[in-house]
Amino acid sequence: MNMTRHSDLIRYARDSIEASTHQNDMHPFSFYNCEVCNKSRPFELVIRYDTEESILPIQSLVGHIQGRCGVCGKTTLLLSNTEDDDTERSIRPTCACGNNQFVVGMCERIQGEKGIPGLFEKRVIVAKCSKCKNIQTIAYTE
């Protein structure tokens, strides 16, 4: 994935977890890849979760995020932070322009002390519309 082409998505993700106020922490960003294409592709997303929230972004996601590749059609599990598979609710994000395919990435805040990695603290999942390039937050996890 061309990081320069999506630098706005990376910047947005880091701003979303307040990276500038946690300068001693590390904030790695990674794009989600299709398992078949082995590349970051636009995905149609399905978020399955158990919290009471019904609008994006989900503040404390406990559940699964799946992405269906817009190129090959393979569905990939992008994120899962529960072993339970009885999630009751689901959301299929759509952009304000009507498009439902997004380039998706994740940024984490990992506590750091003098450059030594520590505990995972917070994660944000962000999506950039493949059509109009609008960026939105999908969910946070802690």
> Is the confidence at residue 74, as pLDDT, over 80?
yes
> Is the confidence at residue 97, as pLDDT, over 80?
yes
CB 89 within 8 A of CB 5: no
- Give the pairing type, strands 29-31 and 43-49: unpaired
- Give the pairing type, strands 63-69 and 116-129: unpaired
Structure tokens at 67: 């992405």
pLDDT of residue 58: 86
Place of tokens 């299709």: 34
24-33 per-position pLDDT tens digit: 888 899 999 9
With a CB cutoff of 8 Å and minimum separation 6, the contacts of 51 are 58, 59, 60, 61, 62, 63, 89
> Is the confidence at residue 119, as pLDDT, over 60?
yes
Please name which of 76, 130, 139 lies closest in space to residue 103, comparing C-alpha atoms.
130
pTM of the predicted model, to two decimals?
A: 0.87
CB 24 within 8 A of CB 113: yes
